[in-house]
Structure 1
Amino acid sequence: MVSAFLIDAINDPTKVVQELYEEHTGDIDQFPTVVARHFSDVFLHSDDTLREVLPLDVNHPPESFAHRSLVRFHAMVQDTSSSPEMYLASLNKNKCGGWGISQNMPASEWPSSFDYCDLKEATALWAVTVPGQTDWRTEELTARSHCGSSSSQSPPQPHKYPVPNAPHIGVQVKIYDNEAAQSLKATDIVTFIGILTSESLDSEAVSSPMVPSLHVLCHKVQSIDDASPTEELATVRDDLIKWISDEALGGDEVAAQWLVLELSAKVSVFSLSIKRIRLIPDTATLEPHPSYLRLSLCHVFLHPHHHHPALPTLHHVLSDLLPQYLTVPLSLDLLNKESFSPESKDEDLHSGYLQVPQGTTLLLTENGVQEGKLVEKGIMNIRAVQEVMDAQTLEYSFPFSKFSFPTDIVTIVLCDGRKSAFFQTGFIVPLKTKPSLKDNLYKPRDQIRTPDTVKLATYRSFLAAAKRCFGSVQVAEETSRHIQEDFVRQRQEDPSITADDLIHLMKVARLLAASMLGREVTVDIWETSKKLDASRRKRLP
């Protein structure tokens, strides 16, 4: 029975909607929910059935599909500020008017008069190809393909994509199940299944461009990665560090370990026993506090190849490991001309480099920066990146107001010199390369010794599991006592040590616990964290 529903839905989704409408004529208000439930039952309960729907992507652009084809669009919500679209839910002869059906109706199908109760609203938003989605992740999602060619046309509304001039798909999305649409927000990753048409961007404007439009039958928001730690995954940590070190970091295993710690991080809110620290002579008390501590980390690798034109090898390695990853090659020209934060212009939200989905990793390279002057836009862009690093918030600018929205972006900076030229970072990790491996920092992809498919998949699962662990790492009571006593000893030996140093080490300890797929900071992890941070500090000038 399910396979019959599947075939009908794929071959003629419009017919299926009409048949459902005829079955539920008496309850027009609830009909969008009926449609969403039906198509969700058919497609969204199994990856296999979901992949039966043809993908809408850069290899299968809108113009490669027949009018009113059923497609799936794995996308990022870019703009939710569009006004709702009005549509007539019921036409003559018991015909459904939603999901773009009324566009193809002859005049005889339209009622000469209608009940205003039949006038409904559809939520309209703009969605784009997921920025930073790596090739292997795209291949996972696009298991089935069809005869289509890369788009030769420029995508509509290119200013709504975060990465300038990058190939992508932009689509006007219309959702009829308004209650389900209310929870969608900018940068959410969503799989939409719907009927593809081409429509005016603004139905009320006299001259408005035609854009791809997706009339959504059902959708599914990407959930937080559900990779779970296993004994098998826990054994690959050292192997992963060794591979990153040898292939991308000149044999520097300490730097590779810090990188793995950074990739284990995510924005989390903890009710810690370290919220308030009282310092009085010879004592330290760590007391519970009702506020929360947001942990977000960034560190710097000090690279010795100034003005190198090629992408660092680390770019290719991270692309193989992470589902969402972008390299931003910083230069004065890019900082002064491109946008990093979203900004509304003429009621149209323009995107920026930092409008990316939560969980994205950004590699900011400074080796292309030369002497020159930062203009106001460049300064604002640097401030936006710093705000993401410090508070994990991104400011959206509107004509008469500005709003900051939470994000979750891992930032890694590659630079020359003693520190970043632009940013105050959480950690500085000077790179110490082995003489025999110093030339591997900028080698091309085809020279990288990539692990086999199974091992690479295990590395990816390990990093996903580490992120999940980070959100639930706790400090055992025994460890808390040990930390308090240890901190008192350190202050007695060195009065310059402050509470900030303790908080810094606690962040390291939590990251280390997560990278070991643990849920608890133990005494051993605390001591290891101290040694790891001490080894990093010894490298600093």
Structure 2
Amino acid sequence: MPCGEDWLSHPLGIVQGFFAQNGVNPDWEKKVIEYFKEKLKENNAPKWVPSLNEVPLHYLKPNSFVKFRCMIQDMFDPEFYMAVYETVNRNTKARVLHFGKYRDVAECGPQQEVDLNSPRTTTLERQTFYCVPVPGESTWVKEAYINANQARVSPSTSYTPSRHKRSYEDDEDMDLQPNKQKDQHAGSRHTGSVGGLQWCGEPKRFETEASTGQQLNSLNLSSPFDLNFPLPGEKGPACLVKVYEDWDCFKVNDVLELYGILSVDPVLSILNNDERDSSSLLDPMECTDTAEEQRVHSPPASLVPRIHVVLAQKLQHINPLLPACLNKEESKTCKFVSSFMSELSPVRAELLGFLTHALLGDSLAAEYLILHLISTVYTRRDVLPLGKFTVNLSGCPRNSTFTEHLYRIIQHLVPASFRLQMTIENMNHLKFIPHKDYTANRLVSGLLQLPSNTSLVIDETLLEQGQLDAPGVHNVTALSNLITWQKVDYDFSYHQMEFPCNINVFITSEGRSLLPADCQIHLQPQLIPPNMEEYMNSLLSAVLPSVLNKFRIYLTLLRFLDYSISDEITKAVEDDFVEMRKNDPQSITADDLHQLLIVARFLSLSAGQTTLSRERWLRAKQLESLRRTRLQQQKCVNGNEL
């Protein structure tokens, strides 16, 4: 096994060691993956890996080992690359085998050139994902990851690409015969792109040409590069992620934690510019990539770095306070879960009190908000998503900052969220649905391209009279489909493509929402604070950080608990339903029963119970009765508004 190499700073050295030992035997690739897996199992090792989410790009050393927490925004076409290639020394004719995996630029020293006709060259395929930071990720999540990261980094401005120093004689020759030298260098420099690897014949020119290339690049870009973030105001790096194994396991909108080798070689910018310039001279029939497609698929590495993935893990959640995988039977995970479950009851009581204050003293609305926040689509039956629980909180004061501050409270509790201000202007002008841009051959993101378990808060109190145009109507339809079917139909021009999702939608409105909802609860404030901002700020500051963290763990953990109903309780529920129908056939329908079962499910889980008990069933009936009575009373007061 290679030793003496720093696996964080020089991972390619580790890879080179395995490649040198095993040659073209493909076992070396498995050994590399196993090596890094074992390294990351060492005590707190993942915390020492610099993260692109937390560390600015210029602080990271090129070709170092990094991690990235991200969402797959788009998948590009697979590309071929030279997995193994051979170089020839122009003077000695000595041949050397190199590996191309985990590289963008072929390793090619002075006096060496790639032998493109070598029989030992191996071409393989890799997949490229376009990944963005997790949309809507809460500030507390980012801060927790930053605080946990122990990577030591410093600005890498002192880093210069590996190059051979010229002797004084060379410098003097350059001074005496500048034109001759320039001509020689112009003739000897070979750049190109073969099999997914860029190559350059004269490394000693890299540094100068890189800066020139970046200037050219900025001139050649017709417009600022759009990082294609789904939500407005998002920050952080987008990355081109090169995946070598098991890419079929991943799909668009998956949230991943990636470990890999960072590639920000400036030569990529030069070569991509050269390709763009030369493409206009080629036969249109031979050049399949448009200039726009090249611009999008090969952006400057300084703007969109590349990560060559060694290990990739699909994340169940992004809550840094919990173990990454909650389904594992690991002793640490089991111990954490059982320890937290033992103190669940007081946490629920405190959370209920906290949300009651946030909802201006309305404890019934607070109960339903808890059920909403732990709800999740647990399965699909045909096209019907089971477990979704969209809540419409009606009765919210109009022209008040209440809804804005309520969203801030939710933001402090959930790992990812977004507040959609439902104004006529936003509905008519914002892009909700992702669509395929065939010119650039990419998926252009929209507001509804969100990862699973994102909390989407729709503020309908801002809606005023006005005319929805065609895009506005499409956006309302998209929201309705999201709520009803938990799917978004992406626009591929010639057809729609259905993308299932699992988004928690919470609607705040004055009257009944224009959008469909599984449950409407009318707010009954017990107090109206004279200064809403001051009231909500004091509420947040009064909660201890440790208690707030318990709320966050509670709301994430309960989504992953299994749940079942025993045969005995099933029979009791059926009998109860028949009895209620017997007394008043109009009082309860099959849909009402389904709603009751959903409320009972999340009520049980909120108490840490994974099976339905008679007690919880009766409590669910009581909550639903109170909610319906309140709606009925409001309808009597306001006529048919509700």
TM range (shorter): 0.7 to 0.9
What secondary structure sits across from 1:9 in the alignment? coil
Confirm whether residue 213 of structure 1 aligns to residue 306 of structure 2: yes
**Which residue number corresponds to residue 39 of structure 1?**
36
Q: Which amino acid aligns with 2:573?
A: I
- Tell me, in whole angstroms, the C-alpha distance in 2 between the residues paired with 1:376 and 1:17: 55
**Which residue number corresponds to residue 115 of structure 1?**
119
**Which residue number corresponds to residue 233 of structure 1?**
344
Confirm whether residue 182 of structure 1 aligns to residue 248 of structure 2: yes
**Which residue number corresponds to residue 209 of structure 2?**
none
**Which residue number corresponds to residue 169 of structure 1?**
237
Q: Percent identity?
A: 23
Change (3 A) 1:304 1:498: closer
**Which residue number corresponds to residue 315 of structure 2?**
222
Counting only pairs closer than 5 Å after superposition, residues 19-418 of structure 1 correspond to structure 2 as 19-28=17-26, 31-43=28-40, 45=41, 48-57=44-53, 60-92=55-87, 93-100=96-103, 102-106=105-109, 108-115=112-119, 118-142=122-146, 143-144=148-149, 146-147=153-154, 158=226, 160-177=228-245, 180-198=246-264, 199=268, 205=276, 206=279, 208=295, 209-210=299-300, 211-223=304-316, 226=326, 228=337, 230-246=341-357, 248-269=358-379, 294-308=386-400, 312-346=404-438, 347-417=441-511
Q: Which amino acid aligns with 2:388?
A: S
- Tell me, in whole angstroms, the C-alpha distance in 1 between the residues paired with 2:395 and 2:155: 42
- Tell me, in whole angstroms, the C-alpha distance in 2 between the residues paired with 1:442 and 1:401: 50
8 A Cα contact 1:156 1:170, kept in partner:
no
Confirm whether residue 491 of structure 1 aligns to residue 581 of structure 2: yes
Change (3 A) 1:188 1:445: farther
- Tell me, in whole angstroms, the C-alpha distance in 2 between the residues paired with 1:83 and 1:349: 15
What secondary structure sits across from 2:305 in the alignment? strand
8 A Cα contact 1:309 1:368, kept in partner:
no
8 A Cα contact 2:565 2:611, kept in partner:
yes
What secondary structure sits across from 1:228 in the alignment? helix
- Tell me, in whole angstroms, the C-alpha distance in 1 between the residues paired with 2:465 and 2:144: 43
Change (3 A) 1:291 1:119: closer
Name whichever of 514-523 and 449-458 sits farther off: 449-458
- Tell me, in whole angstroms, the C-alpha distance in 2 between the residues paired with 1:392 and 1:173: 28
Deviation of the 1:128 alpha carbon: 0.4
Name whichever of 438-447 and 72-81 sits farther off: 438-447
**Which residue number corresponds to residue 511 of structure 1?**
602
- Correspondent of 2:513 among 412, 416, 420: 420
Deviation of the 1:446 alpha carbon: 6.3
8 A Cα contact 2:491 2:497, kept in partner:
yes
Change (3 A) 1:156 1:253: farther
Q: Which amino acid aligns with 1:89?
A: V
Q: Summarize deviations over 1:45-71 as a string: whole Å, max 9, x none.
A: 3572111111112x5333443332332
What secondary structure sits across from 1:11 in the alignment? coil
8 A Cα contact 2:396 2:402, kept in partner:
no
Q: Summarize deviations over 1:13-40 as a string: whole Å, max 9, x none.
A: 1211211211221324x54443333222
- Tell me, in whole angstroms, the C-alpha distance in 1 between the residues paired with 2:241 and 2:224: 13
- Correspondent of 2:551 among 443, 459, 470: 459
Change (3 A) 1:54 1:255: same
- Tell me, in whole angstroms, the C-alpha distance in 2 between the residues paired with 1:501 and 1:447: 36
Q: Which amino acid aligns with 1:402?
A: Q
- Tell me, in whole angstroms, the C-alpha distance in 2 between the residues paired with 1:510 and 1:157: 47
**Which residue number corresponds to residue 625 of structure 2?**
534
Confirm whether residue 480 of structure 1 aligns to residue 570 of structure 2: yes
Change (3 A) 1:384 1:365: same
Q: Which amino acid aligns with 1:140?
A: A
What secondary structure sits across from 2:78 in the alignment? coil
Deviation of the 1:237 alpha carbon: 0.9
Q: Which amino acid aligns with 1:51?
A: K
- Tell me, in whole angstroms, the C-alpha distance in 2 between the residues paired with 1:324 and 1:509: 26
Name the Cα RMSD after superposition.
3.0
- Tell me, in whole angstroms, the C-alpha distance in 2 between the residues paired with 1:112 and 1:90: 8
What secondary structure sits across from 1:481 in the alignment? helix
**Which residue number corresponds to residue 207 of structure 2?**
none
- Tell me, in whole angstroms, the C-alpha distance in 2 between the residues paired with 1:349 and 1:158: 12
- Tell me, in whole angstroms, the C-alpha distance in 2 between the residues paired with 1:528 and 1:519: 16
Q: Summarize deviations over 1:139-191 as a string: whole Å, max 9, x none.
A: 33332364569xxx9998535211023223211111123xx222111111111
Q: Which amino acid aligns with 1:519?
A: T
Q: Which amino acid aligns with 1:409?
A: I
Deviation of the 1:322 alpha carbon: 1.3
- Tell me, in whole angstroms, the C-alpha distance in 2 between the residues paired with 1:64 and 1:435: 51
Q: 5+ residue gaps in structure 1?
A: 272-289
8 A Cα contact 1:233 1:461, kept in partner:
no
Q: Which amino acid aligns with 1:387?
A: N
Name whichever of 486-495 and 198-207 sits farther off: 198-207
Q: Which amino acid aligns with 1:325?
A: S
TM-score of the pair, normalised by structure 1: 0.86
Q: 5+ residue gaps in structure 2?
A: 88-95, 157-217, 280-290, 318-324, 327-335, 636-642
**What is the number of residues matched between the two proteins?**
508
Change (3 A) 1:448 1:82: same
- Tell me, in whole angstroms, the C-alpha distance in 2 between the residues paired with 1:81 and 1:182: 13
Larger Rg: 2
8 A Cα contact 1:250 1:440, kept in partner:
no
Q: Which amino acid aligns with 2:607?
A: M
Deviation of the 1:387 alpha carbon: 1.6
- Tell me, in whole angstroms, the C-alpha distance in 1 between the residues paired with 2:242 and 2:380: 38
Change (3 A) 1:306 1:104: farther
8 A Cα contact 2:76 2:127, kept in partner:
no
Change (3 A) 1:437 1:477: farther
8 A Cα contact 2:83 2:121, kept in partner:
no
- Tell me, in whole angstroms, the C-alpha distance in 2 between the residues paired with 1:451 and 1:444: 11
Change (3 A) 1:251 1:85: farther
- More strand, by proportion: 1
- Tell me, in whole angstroms, the C-alpha distance in 1 between the residues paired with 2:542 and 2:474: 39
Tell me which of the two structures has the higher relative contact order, counting C-alpha pairs closer than 8 angstroms and 6 or more residues apart. 1
Change (3 A) 1:101 1:48: same
TM-score of the pair, normalised by structure 2: 0.73
Change (3 A) 1:123 1:454: same
Deviation of the 1:439 alpha carbon: 5.1
8 A Cα contact 1:313 1:443, kept in partner:
no
Deviation of the 1:536 alpha carbon: 0.8
What secondary structure sits across from 1:301 in the alignment? strand
- Tell me, in whole angstroms, the C-alpha distance in 2 between the residues paired with 1:386 and 1:238: 33
